[in-house]
Amino acid sequence: MKLNYYPETDSLYIDFTGKPSAESKEVSEGVVLDYDAEGNLVGIDIDNASRKLELKELVLSKLPTEIQTLSA
């Protein structure tokens, strides 16, 4: 999974698989879900991310890897 923030557009893309999107659905204003050809969720695009999310801190927990907390 990759988190990609684009400051020039204030958008955040959460890429779950790296697969290309075949279909997109806006589920609320500025929040778009991307699906592959089989209908699986592959990503989430969030416009105006700094207004909708707390971007200064990212906490990963209970993942099958070493846990780290990153702050801006």
Contact 48, 8 (CB under 8 A): no
pLDDT the model gives residue 57: 84
pLDDT the model gives residue 55: 85
Render the burial of 43-57: b for 16+ CB within 10 Å, e for the rest: bbbbbebeeeeeeee
Q: Tens digit of pLDDT per residue, the chain (72 long)? A: 899 999 999 999 999 999 999 999 999 999 999 999 999 999 999 999 999 998 888 777 777 766 566 666
pLDDT the model gives residue 69: 64
The residue with tokens 């990759």 is 2
pLDDT the model gives residue 33: 98
